[in-house]
Amino acid sequence: MPLTTADKRAAFRKMHESGCFVLPNPFDVGSAKALQHLGFKAIASTSAGFAWSIGKADNHVTVDDVCAHLTALCAAVDIPVNADFEGGFAREPDEVAANVARGVRTGVAGLSIEDSTGDKANPLYDRALAIERIKAARTAIDADNTGVMLVGRCEAFLWGQSDLKLVIDRLTAYADAGADCLYAPGIKTREDIAAVVKAVQPKPVNLLIGASGLSLNEAAELGVRRISVGGSLARMAWAGFMRAAREMAEKGTFAELAGGYPGGELNKMFE
């Protein structure tokens, strides 16, 4: 019997109580089903991976695009889905709240809000506004007692602002504003990761594994609760596609096609 949305949300919260788990990022329904087939207990969407799958650049999709995508993911799998909801697709808190309410209705078990503006000259929202945006998201989630986990993200490291004190100040403020889980993509040294974990505990921390080189066990030893991979799985898929397509286009040969995943196994997985 399929799990209800409420069951998925309860299970997702339970996963954050102890230990460390991998939260891989599919880019479409097929990759989501494959990750469930492999035994992962939860998945998270990726803004970049999804954008590329519909022929757009990252951060160039609409809230309509994303909500349709999240609805499809949640319906396709029997495990919790965490939404990469970018910056809430709005600047002002009330508009963020309205969009978050839409995101919640897709059936997600978790939802993240970023503090980046997309403007290289001023990459992060002012601290006060960023906090209000998290509070607005929290209010929208709690309006119907949905139980959706709110993830507060500080994007400073991704925009070249490697001031750990700034990151920790923002993450602790987001925790106080109602974020259930904290996330600073781009941090990679053991010292920085441990400092973030200590600063926001007992609330859980999500680590974008990226260039840290850490294993699941090593991240767990630092106190990380969950590990995501962002658009990495999508980039791996595109790597194989582009190698084979480029070989055909440039050489007129087809050797790369021999390395494809067996169609029979794909059919069996999706039956």
Q: For position 38, what pLDDT does the model report?
A: 98
Q: For position 10, what pLDDT does the model report?
A: 98
Q: For position 2, what pLDDT does the model report?
A: 84
How far is residue 20's CA from residue 265's CA, in Å, rounded to a whole number? Answer: 30
How far is residue 24's CA from residue 42's CA, in Å, rounded to a whole number? Answer: 8
Q: What is the CA radius of gyration of the chain?
A: 19
Alpha-carbon torsion angle 89, 93, 95, 97, nearest 10? 90
Q: For position 129, what pLDDT does the model report?
A: 98
How far is residue 223's CA from residue 10's CA, in Å, rounded to a whole number? Answer: 22
Q: Collapsing DSSP states into helix, strand and coil, what is residue 11?
A: helix
How far is residue 233's CA from residue 198's CA, in Å, rounded to a whole number? Answer: 29
Complete edge-to-edge strand list for the sheet that includes strand 43-44: 21-23, 226-228, 205-208, 181-183, 149-153, 110-113, 81-84, 43-44
Separation of first and last alpha carbons in the chain = 17
Q: For position 176, what pLDDT does the model report?
A: 98
Alpha-carbon torsion angle 158, 164, 170, 175, nearest 10? 100
The interaxial angle of helices 63-76 and 93-104, nearest 10 deg, is 30
In the chain (271 residues long), the average pLDDT of successive 10-residue segments reads 93 98 98 98 98 97 98 98 98 98 98 97 97 98 96 97 97 98 97 98 96 93 98 98 98 98 97 92
Which alpha helices (H) appear in the chain, and where do they start and end? 5-15, 29-37, 47-53, 63-76, 93-104, 127-142, 164-176, 190-200, 216-221, 232-251, 263-270
Contact criterion met (CB below 8 Å) for 35 and 26: yes
Report DSSP state, residue 116: B
Q: For position 222, what pLDDT does the model report?
A: 98
